[in-house]
Structure 1
């Protein structure tokens, strides 16, 4: 393998989580700085501009494209998980590494005592390592899920539909609490979650990978690029924030649910 084949590109979808960003950058930087077996890595924090509902899958697709040529595998990393004990080394198949520390999360911290539980032994969300060629093979994430939810379920079916083997690594993370837009304070499904469930069901009604939905249909513009605050000077060249505009449109139902929040 070449040096590029073993290089890790960490993609972090981001919007309106400044406090989480301030925690994430130094914590992840310090974690990689102390690894016994160093990993050559880069981090791209992809910030979706304000206006349209957040599209986590599409933003991850953008990040993948920005680093594909300079890496061999990608980590799709949510900003609200900080590594405590996790293995980010090379993988040859899709490999979630979030196993412990985030099983139960509050729905609305400070406003509700309701929680939601995630089966971290089955999810493809949170922190996922993926060889770049496999990500290409499944056409990345769907771009269809605006607002909240179902892009990870969709990704799981993309992998399964191509009969691609997966693996799991036990990894412990510290979660950062925030309002969960998939649920109301009483833990019932939010309006946008219900809309995206219908989108998911329609997309997979035929039981096969939807065509022209993913990397192949992604449309975006780069608005600006800037360095990250809080990065150790020795690693400054490894981190970048890229602000983008998605030049695609949500469905009317997704937009209505977003505006009615």
Structure 2
């Protein structure tokens, strides 16, 4: 006979808390089983209260620190101010040209590159380009060592800046190259681009804008960031937006701006030197700064690969800016091999709304965290976080942003679509367009 009074009733574990009585009924009376269960329940309840208290304190700690981190990020996010924006149209840079024309919010001591900027005396003539000296280029796609490229461009100043010594350049050009994980492509591009630009007697600086982190690539946001940060180095007559995998095959392709935005790469090797489609405005393009502002820069909505260039074409149309295109028999570009990013399947949906949103979404709404601006020998390297507040990069999140631009509802195919219905609409649209 079991002596229940002598049985140790102190709970030590779940197995010791009388649960053996439930499985072995013959060893416990119902009264003893109930007593053990009550004692065990009280003990377990106290343990759960302690655990929940600890979890609450941990969660409060992380929430507090995250809010402080977010405040710090937002205090360092740069947004464009247009109140006093103007464009410098002078051919020769002077002291006034070094003023930061497109002011950044919360910025100070923003000017950079003054030590490299060439100053000309009054007697120096303007450069006269002998176009007969320009001709085709035979592109070698082998990967050069960057030190080898540097040794052959000793006249290039830190930051990838160059200006002719014996004459005043007629054009001041910013070359903007979006970049991530394309080190070999970049080496080949720099090998050809510096001699190419110097031969055209340009004053120029090459900006390589790199996206920080492992999130999906956002070329449009990188272009907007590079536009803003390039203004630290003075005003530019022309902006050249240049894919890292395209190499010019002819020195007669003028890397300057024409009267209207220009598609400079209509004939690329990967397309068998044929124009892919008539509305193409990508690869290598040129715009003046005031034109870039007029279209509100590139859209920030295109994560992953594709469609930001097509969106820019629609912006140009909406702003009533004609597009020019170079002669395809001259404007030929070699294509460097690289792994293609997966195309965003929802990109067509955003294109349908480009005309409606281009004035409110783009350069003016660009948010980023500037991590570093470093003047390397052959280029100015800009590293930026394109998603500093860690917005979830998912279609539903982006749809909410789009809906907010239109008061949480918009018209699609003649019918009003509210925020909660947008994701289903874009799913149907993507399936019909892919």
TM over 0.5: yes
Q: Is the 8 A contact 2:296 2:358 kept in 1?
A: no
Q: Which residue of 2 aligns with 1:212?
A: 360
Distance of 1:158 and 1:130 partners within structure 2: 13
Structure 2 residue aligned with 1:245: 385
CA distance in 1, matches of 2:275, 2:341: 15
Aligned to 2:405: none
Q: Deviations over 1:151-174 (max 9, x none)?
A: 011100000011112211131211
Given the superposition, is the C-alpha separation of residues 104 and 80 from structure 1 closer, same or farther in structure 2, using an over 3 Å criterion? same
Structure 1 gaps, min length 5: 106-116, 183-191, 232-238, 256-261
TM-score, length basis structure 2: 0.48
RMSD: 2.3
Task: Select which of 335, 358, 363 maps to 1:175.
Answer: 335
Task: Give the Cα–Cα distance (whole angstroms) in 2 for the partners of residues 25 and 254 of structure 1.
Answer: 40
1:127 pairs with one of 265, 277, 284:
284
Cross-structure match for 1:193:
344
Counterpart in 2 of 1:89?
256
Deviations 1:98-120 (A, max 9, x none): 02233528xxxxxxxxxxx8526
- 8 Å Cα contact 2:270-2:335 kept in structure 1: no
Residue 300 of structure 2 is aligned to residue 143 of structure 1: yes
CA apart distance, 1:195: 2.1
Q: What's the offset of the Cα at 1:87? A: 1.3
Post-superposition offset of 1:200: 2.8
Residues paired across the two proteins, number: 222
Gaps of 5+ in 2: 1-88, 98-170, 398-434
Are 1:67 and 2:218 an aligned pair? Answer: no
Given candidates 45, 49, 52, the residue that maps to 2:215 is: 52
Bigger relative CO (Cα 8 Å, ≥ 6 apart): 1
Distance apart, 1:209 and its partner CA? 4.1
Query: 1:195 and 1:121, CA in 2 relative to 1: closer, same or farther beyond 3 A?
Result: closer
Write out per-residue CA displacement over residues 65-90 of structure 1, whole angstroms, 9 at most, x where no aligned residue: 12244212100111000112121123
Secondary structure in 1 aligned to 2:282?
Answer: coil
> Hey, what's the Cα distance between the residues in 1 that align with 2:224 and 2:290?
13
- Counterpart for residue 259 of structure 1: none
Q: Is the 8 A contact 1:146 1:254 kept in 2?
A: no
For residue 223 of structure 1, the aligned residue among 357, 360, 371 is 371
SS in 1 for 2:249: strand
Distance (whole Å) between structure 1 residues aligned to residue 294 and residue 286 of structure 2: 15
Question: 1:188-241 CA distances to partner (integer Å, 9 max, x unpaired)?
Answer: xxxx4212223333x34xx43434211100111221223446x3xxxxxxx211
Alpha-carbon offset, residue 139 of structure 1 = 0.3
- Quick one: distance in 1 between partners of 2:370 and 2:276? 35
More helix by share: 2
- Are the aligned partners of 2:281 and 2:309 in contact in 1 as well (CA < 8 Å)? yes
1:226 and 1:67 map into 2 onto residues whose CA distance is: 12
